[in-house]
Structure 1
């Protein structure tokens, strides 16, 4: 058996080939061409052909990670307005000629960690993706929890400041996504910084405003993690995404705030760790999801 995982992103189509044991055999990139009429579909097909030609044996199934919400059968994306026209309702199994399982891109990142990475020995885990916005995924009894309408895991849209009038794209006031997402840095820093990278570099230099803005963001993340731990009691919380590249500038103050806010009855403490996989996480997780449907 062999499985293909594909991550349909805004910039690149990323593909990976794994065997039944989960060994990663090949990976490849192609440009997405999101703005070209239908070219992104052709590029996904070309990715499959490339990996098929490398394997030169029958393939079992394909996993496809994409933005948006899939249907209950994980056969297509049913809701993704404003991106990749034609994606909604597109049946990939018919187009690619193989069983194809479609899942949300943040869910795929969690499946990468659950199948091969930081959550592979966990029954219950959470993943938060910290980047332009904040996404996530929930693992319950070693299974991806997708919920009603496959909406579960949108952890960036929990509120950490309910009286704040700033609303997330899901309509939540004072969302975690606004508190730490890269998209809101300029507003949170009164125009002083334009990216998390600039903000963190100034924080490292001891800049007072940068220190205030950054530590306020990390405090909000700690409060969110503590709240999610109270609700779901995971064994691990895994942090992924570009903001985690801040390394100790993120994890040291985060641990300090968690020491204040996390409830630890009997000394039990939720592990907070950095994700094992980087920019191929979506493709790896999609392949792992397809493999799970057939191997278990």
Structure 2
């Protein structure tokens, strides 16, 4: 068995992962604010779970730009991991084989193991959350790019630029993320209309309002699914994936996913060249299957493959 650890900006999820990908003994703990405390927590997790049997190694998923050798160019909100070779330091600390993988890449490759991409060799995973991340799988392998940054779909600029503003405001990280593209935009519209029913960061609340006929929520949701769909069309033209998996907590909302598919099909029909290729080469949209377990499963899967060589 393996130990899977998914380090997030606020929470660490962890558990035992069998050779089949089955996860057990799942727990979570707050992410420490200091590196030394993080290492103490990780050592404690491994010590705790090792009591369940022989552990072959530890798979770790984390945010940021991560090189194949485990060097963290960035670490998302976990700034004390910038410039750290997490694999080397954890192997020294834990005395076990360790694999460190970007969280979106881990989520993508996990779907190949036991998720919704088992029959695909070339696919994408678009993760909608605080930002817009992604994983690229080419010929059954994670594609990292020249510097480990491949899959940062959120950087894509998809709207007309206003040079008097920060141009990242026109990127998918702003328009297609759940927080800024949906929740904050809805709250802003509500305030500008003199209303008080703010949604906070509750995307499900906005979706339910839209489906019930709320004018503001419906407009914001339409604009949001259009922004996501524009990004999807660009990715299809660039990568020709067999499927595109949609991840992040919002992907579990069936009403949202149906709305996204509807909007995507509408844009596809309006694009002459891609519409001609529908049902020929245009990849299908699917939700991810593994949800919150995807990060720790995917990191373990990469380690599992390494140890089989």
Normalised-by-shorter TM-score class: 0.7 to 0.9
* 2:296 corresponding residue in structure 1: 283
Distance in 2 of aligned mates of 1:267 and 1:30: 42
- TM-score, structure 1 length as denominator? 0.88
Match among 200, 205, 224 for residue 198 of structure 1 = 205
Distance in 1 of aligned mates of 2:248 and 2:44: 27
Match among 175, 178, 203 for residue 179 of structure 1 = 175
> Structure 2 vs 1, CA of residues 107 and 178 (structure 1 numbering), >3 Å: closer, same or farther?
same
Distance in 1 of aligned mates of 2:111 and 2:183: 32
Match among 239, 245, 250 for residue 257 of structure 2 = 250
Coordinate RMSD, CA, aligned: 2.3
Shift of 1:28: 2.5
Matched, 1:77 2:75: no
Deviation beyond 3 Å, 4+ runs, structure 1: 164-167
Distance in 2 of aligned mates of 1:203 and 1:180: 17
* 1:60 corresponding residue in structure 2: 56
Shift of 1:135: 0.9
> Structure 2 vs 1, CA of residues 114 and 39 (structure 1 numbering), >3 Å: closer, same or farther?
same
Shift of 1:125: 0.6
Distance in 2 of aligned mates of 1:129 and 1:25: 21
- TM-score, structure 2 length as denominator? 0.84
* Partner SS state of residue 92, structure 2: helix
Length, aligned pairs only = 288
Shift of 1:88: 3.6
Distance in 1 of aligned mates of 2:103 and 2:160: 27
> Which region of structure 1 is more displaced relative to structure 2, 31-40 or 212-221?
31-40
> Which region of structure 1 is more displaced relative to structure 2, 207-216 or 26-35?
26-35
Distance in 2 of aligned mates of 1:30 and 1:18: 15
Match among 169, 182, 185 for residue 188 of structure 1 = 185
Q: Structure 1: 5+ residue runs without aligned partners?
A: none
Shift of 1:266: 6.7
> Structure 2 vs 1, CA of residues 253 and 150 (structure 1 numbering), >3 Å: closer, same or farther?
closer
Distance in 1 of aligned mates of 2:278 and 2:79: 49
Shift of 1:85: 2.0
Matches within 5 A, 1:227-266: 227-261=234-268, 263=274, 264-265=276-277
Shift of 1:252: 3.2
Matched, 1:216 2:223: yes
* 2:195 corresponding residue in structure 1: none
Shift of 1:139: 0.3
Distance in 2 of aligned mates of 1:251 and 1:162: 28
Contact 2:246 2:287 (C-alpha < 8 Å) held by counterparts: yes
